[in-house]
Structure 1
């Protein structure tokens, strides 16, 4: 009996020891798993802080530029209401510590756009003294890089709150938008509290200054038609080539830049947005004289709002009248004309009143007038406007080619021109265009 009782005690003790060992093993396993999970999360957070993830998001609340960029789960959309600490702002732009003991910051690239050091830009702009102009964003300087390349450097004004958001928008958008009629973003700089954008240099400045600014000069009809053609192609790419489509929201002659060959490119995408159809309204943005009246009354900006602004630019090209100095009033007066007929000749630039140029300018004015229809639904799509301008250019080129042709071929070309003119008249008549899409 005693032997049996002893065996029972031994078995109970052994079972207790085994249970205790199993419990201890479970505790150690739980602690190990917890530490492992914590290590993985910490590593993920660290990588998140070091990465620069730029994503376009339609209709960001509180961020008019519609761009949100993730930084450790905090959206740039919140910066306006709750500014990020300096450490997190640095994390967004990929700010890393010194390089091998050196103090110079190493910046990660946003979508592959090169980054420049402030000291290099300071040297290239001769300590920011070679000023080209002043915009709402801030001053623009000419810079000569060590490679000999000439660029334009746009510096965000220190007191500009809207400029901060525009800066973010421009960097993110231009990292994915590439077209021969859009100004190319060469690089950017985020250092010493500065926000700087570096663009390709456009030696002939902007269209506004050429038409009626300090650098005013007489543009030939061929140059004006080419500029209209280039700009329409740039807008068409934004509306129909970019994925998702982009609405510029600030098309104006001051944002049309010209290179040494007088080829035009659309610039300044700080107010641009992706096209959205969520019914949301945004704060009014744009420039007086170019803003769509329907947008001003509804706060809803669409592709047709860009078409309206482009229509105003077309009228600038053929009248050389500043939209902020009564252009719309001149257009309205010419539209009713004498005997109830349109009389664009009354407002044409005096340099365009000779011969066939005046006729072609009137055709372009018809196209422009369709673009500024008060009803967005009745305005043409930008692709239709581009097509009309392309036909005008073809006619212009063919007309010049006839001078070198034998008489028989000249008659054939002239008949083709006459046929194209009939097509243009149909296209630019006062009846409504049938929209390409609803």
Structure 2
């Protein structure tokens, strides 16, 4: 006993000494109080700031989003960055932010914060990045923000700011980026801003600016992007001096109510993109030749006259030339495309619609790379001559909103495990790896056809992140209003590893969050939208890593910490060894060891980690009396937490989860998806051999239990329609609003739970997968090649046969659920398939004979419409099914006319004509295979999720 006491005394002294050496490295108390004030002004429904504990030090205990650095001058740690983007925070920004005088980066992007910007932020001299995009901030911009001597990026777009731009901003001598688009800023642009020496990007489109365009802006020495679309400079002209902006890459003044002539811009040799469309410009188009590097010229929807000048001919990189809706006359010069050299990937759109053009000069030979549109010109009156008719169709859409689908076709012998994908850049090797996803939006790209620049963009990104080109795959591209280009990037680890380590993930994320990518003329500035971290990435990406930067720690303090830590660790190790040996000597051979909590394997935001003891207490030691469900995974219990919250606890039996993947997938997905028609995850337990998931309790159980209960009350059609619509809205959210989109893959009545108001909530995401990108029209040509998983009776036949999973696979499963709601029948029962039975009844004119009798009186016309929709959803072939958006809209239409439908009970007879059941029955070849492989005992993953019985 004395020996053990001596060891503990030695351990205590060593640790105390190390603590003394480290004592000076705590957070500045003034900054701690400021952070607590910031926290008190915010609403945090996802508990992202749950570890902002006033009893703990922000820097040494790694508060979420707080990044620190040491300072040798005062011995304190200081806040270097607040990184709280995409954390669902609301409330207001506290004035106490101004006390964080050492902070360099303030990032609250993509939240729901309202109120105004505190003027006290102007008291942060170190601030370099002010990132507040995508909130609900309003009011005027404080003059005090002009007192930030080190500000580099001013990012306030997509808010509700109003008032004029303060003249004090002229003092921002280091600012390079003004990103204030999509607000309600008004008044005159301050001419004084022309004195800003480093300003490169001036983006104030989609505001309410007025007055005139200051000619002084031509004096900005480094201005490269000048974008003011959709403002109202009524009667203003474009100053001739703008032709002197020698470094200008992009000039975009679309829809600004400008008058006068188009200035001579031939002196801007770096110009890549020119958009002066939707104004009231008059006169001739200048004949001086533009930059040879220009990609886009848009002068459409003005009042320009005269002929088309020859300076548009032979521009080697031209992708888009729009002169439509003007008063141009004369001939169309064929030299525009004849003198241009095309590569296999290059394209050229020429739109001259709705002018006064009477002819085409030269020989009419339009290459396949060129799209020429002449509708609305006199030349089309003789369309039969010279084969001009093909050029006179009217199918032009003015906005650039197309989606570019990147189809990934890899000929690999087998699919990858969950979370893993074949590295596209190494097709020949078929290597599986876990990618790290980054969502970006190019704010002002200087091209109209991105695929031609795809390789350059990949080299630009990977070169600056220090990765190999094959490690980046551009998964999807979509033009949005602006035009801006949204994209989803997948970064893959090197081919000698199938996963990034923690430091690599953090390094890649830091490059994007700190905006340290160097500028690029073609691609312009970007905005960071999100990160996608699956599997183990999700685990440690959501843990706050300490970020100690700088050289502020003294050598003496560092030495003390190192030596003290080594000594402390050594003493602890020796003490543990001695205690272990002594305990083993005293332990009887047959003694049973007490169960102790294991290491919690995951830490993530917005989801609470429960201990085994907490959930044991919540369920009265998992009493069978409060068990409410059971499946192949284990049992479900109704529990009451310490704070009185009633929950459903799914306790997995040992070995029921495939390598923990489904357990982690469920947590990962539900922790970042929030919708009234998705079940909410309260928390989890992961200790030793215990894995439990804690959900909100759904008192009306699952739809499956409701429909199969023998003693249930009649369920009206209105309630069934309400359940169907809620389920569809939840799935639509997964397909279109989740970022990235998700395919559920196991939609069934067991996985649709009902709250006290019969609101449907989709549950169980254990086998869900990220969705492929849909094309422009919503067709799901893209797919995921994967092993078949799902539940017999609900499984998409085409997916079953081809292993190609699409969003329409969820549509099929939901269609089966709709048929269950209508008939009360199970998907497969005694060898009979519900989809086939319904189709046969419809074709024989006996549709109403299979309607669930317990529904009571039901509306004839609404039943027909719902049945028709259910049959369309459960079509054999993917192309015959509607999208989830169409499903929701149709259900909403049925719901809106429900009061007008006839609610008289119908007589069931064989002579009912149901032309609405126009869908053909599934082909026998498919269904003979499908049913034989979907009966009980098949090899499909038929594990069902927890079912909660109604009270």
Identify the TM-score tier after normalising by the shorter chain: 0.5 to 0.7
- Aligned partner of 2:840 among 307, 326, 333: 333
C-alpha distance in 2, partners of 1:206/1:431?
Answer: 29
Match of 1:324 in 2: 828
- Residue 306 of structure 1 pairs with residue 813 of structure 2: no
Q: Does 1:116 align with 2:616?
A: no
Q: CA RMSD in A?
A: 3.8
Does 1:171 find its partner at 2:171?
no
Q: Hey, what does 1:346 align to over in structure 2? A: 849
Structure 2 residue aligned with 1:274, among 767, 770, 789?
770
- 1:63 match: 417
Q: Deviations over 1:30-64 (max 9, x none)?
A: xxxxxxxxxxxxxxxxx9xxxxxxxxxx9996423
How far is the alpha carbon of 1:131 from its aligned partner?
Answer: 1.1
* Mapped partners of 1:357, 1:393: distance in 2: 11
Paired residues, what number?
Answer: 332
**Structure 1 match to 2:658:** 162
Q: Secondary structure at the match of 2:686?
A: strand
Cα 1:228/1:386, change in 2 over 3 Å: same
Residue range with higher mean Cα deviation, 263-272 or 323-332: 323-332
* Cα distance in 1, alignment partners of residues 822 and 499 from structure 2: 45
Higher-strand-fraction structure: 2
The aligned residue for residue 209 of structure 1 is 705
Task: Give the superposition deviation at 1:195.
Answer: 1.3
Question: Is the alpha carbon distance of 1:293 and 1:212 closer, same or farther for their aligned partners in structure 2, counting shifts above 3 Å?
Answer: same
Partner of 1:393: 895
Contact kept, 8 Å, 1:169 with 1:270, in 2: the verdict is yes
Counterpart for residue 196 of structure 1: 692
Query: Paired residue for 1:254?
Result: 750
Q: Aligned-pair distance for 1:331?
A: 1.0
Tell me: CA distance 1:164–1:206, structure 2 relative to 1, closer, same or farther (3 Å). same
Please tell me whether residue 366 in structure 1 is matched to residue 366 in structure 2.
no
Counterpart mapping for 1:133-172 below 5 A: 133-162=629-658, 164-172=660-668
Residues 1:62 and 1:128: Cα distance change in structure 2 (over 3 Å): farther
8 Å CA contact 1:151–1:201 kept in 2: the answer is yes
Q: For 1:9-39, what per-residue CA distance to the aligned partner results, in whole angstroms no more than 9, with x for missing partners?
A: xxxxxxxxxxxxxxxxxxxxxxxxxxxxxxx
Q: CA deviation at 1:136?
A: 3.1
Distance in 2 between the 1:112 and 1:275 partners? 24
CA contact (8 A) 2:677 2:729 kept: yes
CA 1:374–1:395 in 2, change beyond 3 Å: closer, same or farther?
same
SS of corresponding position for 1:265: strand
Q: Provide Cα deviations, 1:203-256, integer angstroms capped at 9, x if missing partner.
A: 010000110146744211111010001001001000111111100000000000
TM-score by length of 1: 0.67
3-state SS, counterpart of residue 175 of structure 1: helix
Q: CA separation in 1, counterparts of 2:661 and 2:877? A: 31
Q: Following the alignment from structure 2 to structure 1, what is the Cα–Cα distance between the partners of residues 710 and 656?
A: 26
Instruction: Provide TM-score, normalisation by structure 2.
Output: 0.32
What runs of 5+ residues in structure 1 fail to find an aligned partner?
1-46, 48-57, 77-89, 401-424, 433-438
Question: Does 2:819 match 1:315?
Answer: yes
Paired residue secondary structure (1:257): strand
| Structure 2 CA distance for partners of 1:121 and 1:202, relative to 1, 3 Å | same
Aligned partner of 2:798 in structure 1 is 294
Tell me how far 1:334 sits from its aligned partner: 1.1
Distance 1:281 1:91 in 2: 28
The answer as to whether partners of 2:415 and 2:785 remain within 8 angstroms in 1 is no
Task: Report the CA distance shift for 1:399/1:379 in structure 2 as closer, same or farther (over 3 A).
Answer: closer
1:345–1:362 Cα contact (<8 Å) kept: no
Q: Contact 1:64 / 1:282 at 8 angstroms: preserved in 2?
A: no
Deviation at 1:392, TM superposition (A): 1.1
Q: Give me the whole-angstrom Cα distance separating, in 2, the residues matched to 1:65 and 1:308.
A: 24
Q: 1:183 aligns with which of 667, 679, 683?
A: 679
Task: Answer 1 or 2: which has greater helix percent.
Answer: 1
On the 8 A contact 2:727/2:762 being kept in 1, the answer is yes
2:735 is aligned with 1:230: no
Displacement after TM superposition at 1:163 (Å): 6.7
Structure 1 SS opposite 2:772: coil
1: CA distance, partners of 2:724 / 2:751: 13
Distance 2:610 2:435 in 1: 21
CA contact (8 A) 2:650 2:693 kept: yes
